[in-house]
Every structure is written in C-alpha cells, then in structure tokens.
Amino acid sequence: MFKTRAKYHLGQVVRHRKHPFRGVVFDVDAIFSNTEAWYEAIPEDARPSKDQPFYHLLAENDQSYYVAYVSEQNLIADYSGEPVQHPDLEDLFGPFEDGQYPLQVQMN
C-alpha cells in the first residue's frame, strides 16, 4: 500500500525553493494530480517526481497573485511572520495569526 504524509498543512505559509514566490496552502494532493501537459512543460532537468505530495497555493510574487501547484521537494516553510496578501485568502481562511491562516470553510 502506498502511503504519503504531507509535510505542510492547510493555512501554512510556504516559499518556493528556487523561484521568488510564497503562498498559503489551500489543498494537498498525495501524489501528482495535474495534467500531463502541465508536467511536460517543466524542463526535464527540473521536473519533480510525481510520487510525492503536491500543494495548491494561493501564491504571490512582487508582480501578481495567482494559484500555484508545487511539489513538496520545491517548498520550504516561511517563518517570516509576514502575511500573504492574496485577494482570495478571505474566501477560505480567517485572519493571519501566529504565522498561519486558520481554515474557515469545510474542505473535502
């Protein structure tokens, strides 16, 4: 039986290891669950393994807000204590407290 334990949790603020963005985890896939076209668009030398958790993030960088899909190996916890400013945060989470966002809606 295949078992995976996610390192990051819903409402946690994380950063990408290589790219300048951070975000809030709002969903987790135990293994890769995106399209093959999305996966193949990643340069082969940077393509992550599919058999690890992948995280859906409400992400931000210096220019914009967006939704990102990132492998666990490419994330690190963000302990800056700075809130994320993504405009959709209030749809899912309560106010930023103690370095994270409390979930305010029931997820499946």
pLDDT per position as a tens digit, 53-73:
999 999 999 999 999 999 999
pLDDT at 29 exceeding the cut of 90: yes
**Model pTM score:** 0.92
pLDDT at 4 exceeding the cut of 70: no
When comparing pLDDT for 3 and 37, which is higher?
37
Identity at 6, one-letter amino acid code:
A
- Nearest-angstrom CA–CA distance, 84 and 62: 11
Report the SS3 class of residue 46: helix
Beta strands in 10-100 (DSSP E): 13-16, 22-29, 54-60, 65-71, 75-77
The residues that bridge with 100 in the sheet, in sequence order, are 12, 97
pLDDT per position as a tens digit, 69-87:
999 999 999 999 999 999 9
pLDDT per position as a tens digit, 31-48:
999 999 999 999 999 999
